[in-house]
Amino acid sequence: MYSYPDVVAKIASDYLERVKSQLRLVSAHEQGDFLREIESHLFEAYQQTPGEDDVARILAVLRNFGEPAEVVADRLPGAMVRSGTKHNLPLYVVGGILIALFGLPLGSAGAGVLVGLLAAVAGILVAYYAVAGSFLLVGALTMLIGLTRILLPQLFDRLVVLGYIQLGGPVGEFLDHFSPSYQGLLMILFASVFAAAGLGMLWLGRYLLRGLRFLFSLTFDWMRRFAQRVRRKLRQDNREAPQLGKVSFVKQ
């Protein structure tokens, strides 16, 4: 690539590859033209950027130039901007398979099966969030108990005597090996694991929610179109029925 040092050429060509990958929906001619133009810009900017460290120079040039997505923004046809569509593709496929398997061959019975499936998935989602909530609750309570053990050991003992805190069995035996402060610390550690698990589940739940929302909208859209088709057919039949009656009356 002209008089670039090898390492700079590699960085520049990587950048151009990234731009190229964003231009997949553009014609080959336009793609080539655009890449040549950027290549020319990068080369000249590199030559004009002072410094002895070649890598730092080309990185400064690329930083000033901007991210590929910003650069190609107006090169893509409006409807083909890829953000989002790529991520939804697997869900479209799943939705399509569900409709093809259950909706099309079985008609309204298939729709019933689909609704049932969606209800089951929604149930799973509710259960999922319930578990996440339980984890968070257990984490918070255990942390509170741990803090009580460290800061207010008398209160902790009183709660044990009253039966509000029950630490029998192997857990109690295990904790008896440590001092009250260590017991508290262990409880806080245990609580942190639960809290982290709960928060992690909540975070992952976003994807589940998004997927379910998509499946619901896909199914309802399909059902709405199906209902419209049925309504249109019924209207057509109604329109034809009185005409037949009229014809028979005239004939009489």
Partner 1 sequence: MEYQDEGRDRRITQLRKGILELAVMGVLYDERHYGYSLVRVLSESGSISLKEGTIYPILARLDRDGLVRSEWVESDQGPPRKYYTLTSSGRQLFDALSQELDVLVSLVQQKWKVSEQSEHARKKLVVRKG
Rule CB under 8 A: is residue 41 a binding residue for partner 1?
yes
Candidates 58-66, 113-121, 141-149, 197-205; binding stretch for partner 1 (CB under 8 A): 58-66
222: region left, alpha or beta (phi > 0 left; psi from -120 to 50 alpha): alpha
- Give the integer Cα–Cα distance in Å for 80 and 227: 31
Rule CB under 8 A: is residue 43 a binding residue for partner 1?
yes
Candidates 70-78, 86-94, 99-107, 220-228; binding stretch for partner 1 (CB under 8 A): 70-78
CA distance readout (Å), 139 to 95, 126, 154, 182, 197: 37, 20, 22, 17, 9
Contacting partner 1 (CB under 8 A), which of 8, 58, 72, 143?
Answer: 72
Contacting partner 1 (CB under 8 A), which of 6, 50, 52, 64?
Answer: 64
Q: Please say which residue, 33 or 173, places its beta carbon nearer to partner 1.
A: 33
Rule CB under 8 A: is residue 243 a binding residue for partner 1?
no
- Give the integer Cα–Cα distance in Å for 200 and 25: 37
Residue type, 177: H
DSSP letter (8 states) at residue 99: I
Q: Please say which residue, 66 or 242, places its beta carbon nearer to partner 1.
A: 66
Tokens matching residue 94: 């799943």
Rule CB under 8 A: is residue 38 a binding residue for partner 1?
yes
Kindly tell me the sign of the dihedral angle through the C-alpha atoms of 150, 154, 155, 156. Answer: positive
Whether the Cβ atoms of residue 23 and residue 75 lie closer than 8 Å to each other: yes
Rule CB under 8 A: is residue 17 a binding residue for partner 1?
no
Rule CB under 8 A: is residue 44 a binding residue for partner 1?
yes
Rule CB under 8 A: is residue 66 a binding residue for partner 1?
yes
Rule CB under 8 A: is residue 70 a binding residue for partner 1?
yes
DSSP string, 169-184: HHHHHHHTTS-HHHHH
DSSP string, 6-51: HHHHHHHHHHHHHHHHHTTTS-HHHHHHHHHHHHHHHHHHHHHS--
Nearest of 103, 3, 80, 81 to residue 46 by alpha carbon? 3
Q: Please say which residue, 47 or 228, places its beta carbon nearer to partner 1.
A: 47
Q: Please say which residue, 12 or 132, places its beta carbon nearer to partner 1.
A: 12
Rule CB under 8 A: is residue 18 a binding residue for partner 1?
no
- Residue 11 CB, nearest distance to partner 1 (Å)? 16
Contacting partner 1 (CB under 8 A), which of 13, 60, 65, 128?
Answer: 65
Measured N-to-C along each axis, helices 180-251 and 108-151 cross at an angle, to the nearest 10 degrees, of 160
Q: Please say which residue, 44 or 221, places its beta carbon nearer to partner 1.
A: 44
Q: What residues from 185 to 224 belong to the interface with partner 1 (CB under 8 A)? A: none
Q: Which residues bind partner 1 (CB under 8 A)?
A: 2-3, 33-34, 36-41, 43-45, 47, 64-67, 70-75
